[in-house]
Chains A and B, each alone.
Chain A
Amino acid sequence: MNQKYKTYLVGYGFLLPWLIGLFGLYLGPIVASFYLSFTSYDLFNPPKWIGADNYVNMFRDDYRLKDSIIVTFKYVFFSVPLRLAFALFLAILLNQKLRFLGMYRTIYYIPSLLGGSVAISILWKQVFDKTGLFNQGLSFLGIEGPSWISDPAYAIFSLVGLSVWQFGAVMIIFLAGLKQVPTELYEAATVDGAGAIRKFIRITLPLLTPVIFFNLVITLIQSFQTFTKAFIISNGSGGPINSTLLYSLYLYIKGFSFLEMGYASAMAWILLFIIAIFTGLLFLTSRYWVYYSDGGR
């Protein structure tokens, strides 16, 4: 056999497991999911074609879905900026020539490491209980906190709090970005008499925009898909009164509790659509606010 074709064979040989996965677990299911979203399917009887009914019902009759979308938007719009701001603040704090930096970085990373676990969601139920740790802390300041978990007005904020608490990974990426900022720039600015705040706004922030953009996109996509926290804190119900019914949780309830798999597929496509719009907007606006020092490749 020709040497060239032999190389091709080697290439595809090594790629084979991934290709099987691509077609078997991604492309095939994507097509199937799109088809199912136009059917009524309960896993045991064959899918029945119902046209766009799922999509129509979603926006006409399903009030729980409406609640769920509002709750999810609330969660995303509070948790994403707060997590990023918090992570950036701590990254700047740690981005100094300090001893024990490794230890500090470890301490600050631990919440991020554990935050996605069931154990921490259980703990969080306690922390934000009427008599929990958080309100105990508030009472030191003379504030009487509400029952965060069981009051529908506040329940979502216990989830936002847990999400912001998991700032570690974002912080480490910011730290890596801050290390890339050339120190000469700061030195020159100091010579010119710029203060700390001015240096931050004029040098650090612009040079960090690519990292901010990256973190924003990743955190946004993740946040729209949050599940475990809401499931554990609300005992799988999304309550009280749908106040923690994140989109993923409602999709799970529809698909796996009610076995409305066609409807759940349609929901998945709407979620994809929502995420695509938001990431698309971020990419579109990025050229107005993201600064690439190499002129964007």
Chain B
Amino acid sequence: MKGIASIKYMVLHAFILGFGLMMLYPVLWLISSSFKPTILIFSEQGLWPSRTTLEHYWNGWFGLRNIEFSRFFINSLIICLIAIVGTVLSSSMAAFAFARVDFPLKKLWFAIMLGTIMLPGHVTLIPQYIIFHQIGWVDTFLPLTVPKFVAEAFYVFLIVQFIRGIPKELDESAKIDGCGPVTLYWRIIMPLCAPALITTAIFTFMGTWDDFFSQLIYLSDISKFTVPLGLRLFLDSSGDSNWGAVFAMSVLSIVPSLIVFFAGQKYFVDGISTTGLKG
């Protein structure tokens, strides 16, 4: 009887693992192909390369005239870092106000905030673009970073939910000890919210790194291009002639997301299960 049960489990494990690998197969194929010599990419069956080469990485990195891929990575990283600081700071401030301070119209503002989560970005897209165009911010990083400093509703909601779980007695005792609201926010609530803030930072990173649409409309000078834009440019310029190098740069472009994901896995899964919105 025990034997049958364990065979059943083995089959189940084999199925789950096999199916998962099937799902991942395209990505594994991408990685494997990026190390194969060009003639083998489409002729050789299977994942394990019979011969490996790094030439695609070299050719891709230096494949565009006048510019290296390193520039795109630096640009993307700058934008992501500023976006993370802005989003975490401003969203946590709004969340603190909603969760811990009493002021008139609070319920109304909170309802409006939840409403903005559902609003499709297209409706505000064109006027936002016009505003940034008028003040001369188009083709700079500013339209991609400054708006991150005005809090994003989704993260405000996430952090509010988290702060509500922190006992209010803590606030009371802090006040008795002479803590002002700013100290309370910065010294007590913020450190206790660390998991929610890390989740916010991770999601912001992922969202900003892959935010192809905004980068596409706001950046036009190649020296300001981000990784997704660089990748698309490279695809256009080398196209079908140089799949190996395109694949190699594609692999590099997903490495940062994978690193952040594996480093913050726990927060990631918790964040999705509790709020469920992103991804």
Taking Cβ atoms with an 8 Å cutoff, the residues of A that contact B are: 7-8, 10-15, 17-22, 24-26, 28-30, 32-33, 36, 43, 90, 93-94, 96, 98-100, 104-114, 116-120, 122-124, 126-127, 131, 133, 165-166, 168-169, 172-173, 175-176, 214-215, 218, 221, 224-225, 227-228, 231-232, 235, 248, 251-252, 255-256, 261, 264-265, 267-269, 271-272, 275, 279
Contacts and interface: CB of A to CB of B under 8 A. Distances in A.
A10 B181 contact: yes
Given A109-B269, A218-B276, 7 more contacts: A10-B97, A29-B124, A107-B17, A172-B273, A173-B272, A251-B122, A261-B130
A8 B97 CA distance: 10
B90 A114 contact: no
A151 to B, nearest CB: 17
B70 interface: no
B7 interface: no
Contacts of A235: 236
Contacts of A119: 30, 231, 249-251, 253-254
Given A25-B128, A169-B279, A14 B269 contact: no
A234 to B, nearest CB: 12
A166 B103 CA distance: 42
Contact of B276 (A106, A133, A214): A214
Contact of A100 (B13, B246, B269): B13
A114 B127 CA distance: 30
B120 A221 contact: yes
Interface residues of B, number: 89
A207 B212 CA distance: 38
Given A126-B243, A272-B122, A24 B24 contact: no
A281 to B, nearest CB: 15
A112 B120 contact: no
A78 B187 CA distance: 49
B39 interface: no
A118 B30 contact: no
B23 A127 contact: no
Interface of B: 9, 12-13, 15-17, 19-21, 23-27, 29-30, 42, 90-91, 93-94, 96-98, 101-104, 106, 109, 112-113, 116, 118-131, 133, 147, 149-151, 156, 181, 185, 206, 209-210, 212-213, 216-217, 228, 231-232, 235-236, 243, 246-247, 249-251, 253-254, 257-258, 261-262, 265, 268-269, 272-274, 276-279
Contacts of A17: 90, 93-94, 149-151
A107 B24 contact: yes
B277 A218 contact: yes
Most buried by B among A94, A175, A265: A265
